[in-house]
Amino acid sequence: MKLIKGPGSPKLSERLIERNDLDYVEVESKIFPDGEIYVKLSKSVEDEDCYLVQTTYPNRRLLELFFIQDALIGNGARSVNVIVPYFSYARQDQMFKEGESISSRAIAERIQIQADSFYSVDLHSEKITDFFKIEADNYTAMRLLGVHSELYEPDLLISPDEGGIDRVKMAADEIDTEWDYLEKKRLDGETVEIKPKNIEAEGKKVVILDDIISTGGTMMEAARQLLEQGADQVHAGCTHGLFVDDAFDKLDEICDSVFCTDTIESNGCEVTVAPLFDSVF
Ligand code: R5P
């Protein structure tokens, strides 16, 4: 068995290697002047069961994933098992308007052409596992985020929208803490409106948990609401920290802390999802 260290997930790969005492293969990746991507495996994978760890954000990582899968098949791997800690395009899981693509299905279909199994974390939509005809498992980091939240001695865990109720409940149950949710309306790609709702935040330490922080618009609005309602501390956490442009810094300015997991590697990663894969190895 070999773990393949995808260039998008070096730290998570290291953690998995150490935790499961795995042999591994590095991957060289470079970009040609015209923008084309080149990948090369550093060692033979002939007759090996391979576990490729590669996130899919930003887009470059997605192309690398496809090319590494191809390299594994082309170089005689016995099986190709794909661990995609962050599966991008998951929010486009249906045709919202006529003429659109179901982007997450397109990606799932491409992955499974050259894979025997697929694993991911906090897929934005559970529906995505149904797009796969191979084994496809979705793990959740919410209990790990709950445990991390304990550092802040929270009185309350909050989901910024109704869609995140199951997630925040899971985190709150793990540490036996109260939870609630806000009501969000998305106005466009970067602007959201959070309806005022009295959730008794006065004087409380609150942790807001979401699956994704992208532009940070959702988290900013949620944090503002809670601060306006008198919250004593507001911490913002998520599984997938995309932190587009200066989203991390903007959030860091108004929140007491900002944290995420290593499904996408950045300075904000304080929680590793490595333990979620114990049953895979
Ligand atoms: C949406 O349903 C997701 O759960 C996140 O709330 C959303 O993707 C966050 O995006 P942004 O940071 O751009 O508001």
Q: Would you state the pLDDT for residue 197?
A: 74
Is 214 near ligand 1, meaning CB less than 6 Å away? yes
pLDDT in tens, 191-228: 778 776 778 889 999 999 999 999 999 999 999 999 99
Residues 272 and 11: their CA atoms lie apart, in Å, by: 9
Extract long-range pairs of 56-62: CB within 8 Å, 24+ residues apart. 56/8, 56/84, 56/86, 56/87, 56/88, 56/89, 56/107, 57/8, 57/86, 57/88, 57/240, 57/242, 57/264, 59/88, 60/8, 60/31, 61/6, 61/7, 61/8, 62/88, 62/107
Largest interatomic CA distance in the chain: 61
Residue 243: both structure tokens together: 């932190």
Residue 101: both structure tokens together: 């693509």
ω into 58 cis (within 30 of 0): yes
User: What residue owns the CA closest to ligand 1's atom 10?
Assistant: 214
Cα angle vertex 96, ends 90, 99, to 5°? 105
Q: Which of 89, 96, 218 to mutate to test the pocket of ligand 1 (most atoms within 8 A of CB)?
A: 218
Count Cα atoms within 13 angstroms, Cβ side, for 225: 26
Whole-number Å distance, alpha carbon 60 to ligand 1 midpoint, is: 21
Q: In the predicted model, what is the mean pLDDT of residues 21-50?
A: 98
Q: In the predicted model, what is the mean pLDDT of residues 69-78?
A: 98
List, in order of start, the domains of the chain with CATH numbers.
Answer: 2-141 (3.40.50.2020), 142-262 (3.40.50.2020)
